[in-house]
Structure 1
């Protein structure tokens, strides 16, 4: 699942594309990505058509696209969700699931926005219950080749899109998510206290999005390597100073990753222009099993933890005498 740097890269890219633009039509090519929307694909398309986007927002690795009317489109990227910008006439990439036709707010309304139901379902060959909110009028199109269609692509379809009523400031679905280290309202002292109150392994605590959000497996391993901490060290045994140091490393490594567009191991993570991040080249821990530690030169190891892999240096990050509960 994309972590904070990857999601922030997507958010920043979307901000320059959707902010201030109106949805002229919505086409649902597969129902699964909108499965969380109570009304189903037809209602999803009809409900979103005609709304105008405000600037996209993020908390940790969770993304939402507010509307100017106070609601929001909640976007869960899952393992392989992507937003891509393209021209409406461009061929669809494989695994394209939902299309949003975008127009500037001064473009005349289409029939769908004026109240014509205009909904159709195309059950022809190759369609998976295609649903669209009316055909966009010719006046809604920009000059040929202009990139005005936002496409949601999801190979594995663990992600999804749903409307969050009144969720422009913070969707209710995300109210339990803790603030991330880049949030201006992030309270470092409170985060340190919450972490030190835990008896579980420090990596487990870092991955708990209700404590500090935005950290996933990659950047947890990177921060722990920088702090010389074993992933199974009980959080409550760390001093306040050590926890502050660890959180400094979390922010530091994620800022470095963000500057390089995030970490992309395959084509499942790209930004809105289809470009991959390249922080993978700078990773010191994650994915480096058998390679020399960048600090001491000893081979890095991979070990199972929480149904995933943890990467560490057996010399710099020695196993604690006391294991976490």
Structure 2
């Protein structure tokens, strides 16, 4: 599944290509990709055609585009087009002359627009999904309880879709509160990696970035949250933020060849990972110190967790 930096790459690409444009046509080629929109295809098409994309926002791995209705262009956006990429979803900007992708599910036609150099922008936004775990749907927008932006975006609207309101803010969100995270994490009485993967506590930290942040913070994944000092927790959050920012610069970490960003370019951050997927390879930190320590893999929540047995010591009272 794409992780937060990959979804943020998509958000930034989408914002560049679709913000301010009107949806002039909606073609649904596979109704399974709009199954989350209970009223059905005609309702989705009827609400979107003629509506203008105000912005592209993200909270955790949830993407949405607030839509302005043509009859009330200056009013607050009443709904958003949400996109969930699932395991293999792609949002691609294409020109109509290019052939359809094999797994094209939904096509959105956009009003004509030009880039800063005056060159025409592609007119089609295509949702492609081989495994059909993702999808697009419409969602109502609610005011945020704290009055802060609903998610990361250029306009910073204090609105969030009801379907994403339960998702906590992520480390890249300017409105993320470390104090709130630390208080709630200490109360969980669980292992620190389980807490990192809890989207109601802190969003966007998937398996890859959890392992990388824990390695950078020198913390074992089974360390009990109620034993974590404030300085340790702060170091962990800063490590998660740092690894995500570095991944953003590289375009993401995905190991899945199906994942590409909005322009079709894969990320390359996987080449810079220090722990994840490196079982039996030297720990970069120990190797630099002259210690022949190998990264180990442990089974964790039906997945794998990678750590260094020397600089991430396993706690005696660990919680998995």
TM over 0.5: yes
Alignment counterpart, residue 157 of structure 1, candidates 106, 109, 132: 132
Q: Report deviation, 1:100.
A: 0.3
| Structure 2 residue aligned with 1:79 | 87
Whether the aligned pair in 2 keeps the contact of 1:199 and 1:236 (CA below 8 Å) is yes
The answer on 1:253 being equivalent to 2:276 is no
Q: In structure 2, how many angstroms separate the alpha carbons of the residues matched to 1:311 and 1:155?
A: 29
1:90-109 equivalent positions in 2, closer than 5 A: 90-104=98-112
Q: Report deviation, 1:146.
A: 5.6
Alignment counterpart, residue 216 of structure 2, candidates 223, 226, 229: 226
Show structure 2 runs of 5+ residues with no match: 70-76, 114-118, 143-156, 288-292
Whether the aligned pair in 2 keeps the contact of 1:203 and 1:232 (CA below 8 Å) is yes
Deviates more, 1:247-256 or 1:257-266: 257-266
The answer on 1:183 being equivalent to 2:191 is no
RCO comparison, higher one (Cα < 8 Å, 6+) = 1
Whether the aligned pair in 1 keeps the contact of 2:17 and 2:121 (CA below 8 Å) is no
Deviates more, 1:53-62 or 1:164-173: 164-173
Q: CA RMSD in A?
A: 1.7
Runs of 4+ in structure 1 over 6 Å off: none
The answer on 1:21 being equivalent to 2:24 is no
The answer on 1:319 being equivalent to 2:314 is yes
Q: In structure 1, how many angstroms separate the alpha carbons of the residues matched to 2:173 and 2:256?
A: 29
Bigger radius of gyration: 1
Q: In structure 1, how many angstroms separate the alpha carbons of the residues matched to 2:221 and 2:167?
A: 22
Whether the aligned pair in 2 keeps the contact of 1:196 and 1:236 (CA below 8 Å) is yes
Q: Report deviation, 1:85.
A: 0.6
TM-score by length of 1: 0.85
**166 and 196 in structure 1: CA distance in 2 versus 1, 3 angstrom threshold:** closer
1:11-160 equivalent positions in 2, closer than 5 A: 11-69=11-69, 70=77, 71-104=79-112, 147-160=122-135
Whether the aligned pair in 2 keeps the contact of 1:196 and 1:240 (CA below 8 Å) is no
Deviations 1:40-65 (A, max 9, x none): 22322232111110110011221111
Whether the aligned pair in 2 keeps the contact of 1:20 and 1:104 (CA below 8 Å) is no
Q: Report deviation, 1:267.
A: 2.1
The answer on 1:282 being equivalent to 2:257 is no
Q: In structure 1, how many angstroms separate the alpha carbons of the residues matched to 2:96 and 2:192?
A: 47
Number of residue pairs matched by the alignment: 287
3-state SS of 2:305 partner:
strand
Deviates more, 1:41-50 or 1:69-78: 41-50
Q: In structure 2, how many angstroms separate the alpha carbons of the residues matched to 1:245 and 1:294?
A: 19
Whether the aligned pair in 1 keeps the contact of 2:112 and 2:123 (CA below 8 Å) is no
TM-score by length of 2: 0.86
3-state SS of 1:311 partner:
strand
Q: In structure 2, how many angstroms separate the alpha carbons of the residues matched to 1:250 and 1:166?
A: 29
